[in-house]
Structure 1
Amino acid sequence: MSWTQAELDALKAAYASGTTRVTYDGKTVEYDSEAALLRRIQTIESAISAAGGNPRPVAGYASFGRGDR
Structure 2
Amino acid sequence: MTIAELLAQREKLQNARFKGVLSVMIDGEAMTYKSDQQMAAALASIEAEILKLTRGSRPRTIRPQTSRGL
Normalised to the residue count of structure 2, the TM-score between the two structures is 0.67
Structure 2 residue aligned with 1:4: 6
Which sections of structure 1, spanning at least 5 residues, go unmatched?
56-69
Q: Which has the larger radius of gyration?
A: 2
Following superposition, the deviation at residue 54 of structure 1 comes to: 7.1
Q: Which has the higher helix share?
A: 2
Instruction: Tell me the percent identity.
Output: 22
Partners of 2:29 and 2:12 in 1: CA distance: 11
Alignment of 1:39-58 (within 5 A): 39-53=41-55
The alignment's C-alpha RMSD in Å is 1.8
> How many pairs align?
54
Normalised to the residue count of structure 1, the TM-score between the two structures is 0.68
| SS of 2:34 mapped into structure 1 | coil
| SS of 1:11 mapped into structure 2 | helix
